Amino acid sequence: MIQIRASAETKAILNRAAALRGQKLSEFMLESARRQAEDALLDQRVFFLQPEAYDEFMALLDAPPKPSPQLAAMMQRKAPWKA
């Protein structure tokens, strides 16, 4: 059994979201928590490299490529919501 304390506001939001999905609150919370747990586990990245490959990898990270003219132009444009 999992017990969680939450404010009335948080409970109301969770209940509304569960209702929108046609789920019981406990089903909604368990599904949401499981999805977040899987994402957290999948986000763990480990690289095992030979020393030469490690040095090359680090050199690439330390010297990223210069932005292309297209990227530079795109970065100068205003966002549509700011225009």
- Tokens linked to 50: 């030979």
What global pTM score does this model have?
A: 0.51
Q: In the predicted model, is pLDDT for residue 22 greater than 90? A: yes
Q: In the predicted model, is pLDDT for residue 28 greater than 90? A: yes
Q: In the predicted model, is pLDDT for residue 1 greater than 80? A: no
Average pLDDT, the chain: 92
**According to the model, what pLDDT value does residue 10 have?**
95
DSSP assignment of 10-74, as one string? Answer: HHHHHHHHHHHTT--HHHHHHHHHHHHHHHHHHT-------HHHHHHHHHHHHSPPPPPHHHHHH
Q: Where are the domains of the chain?
A: 1-64
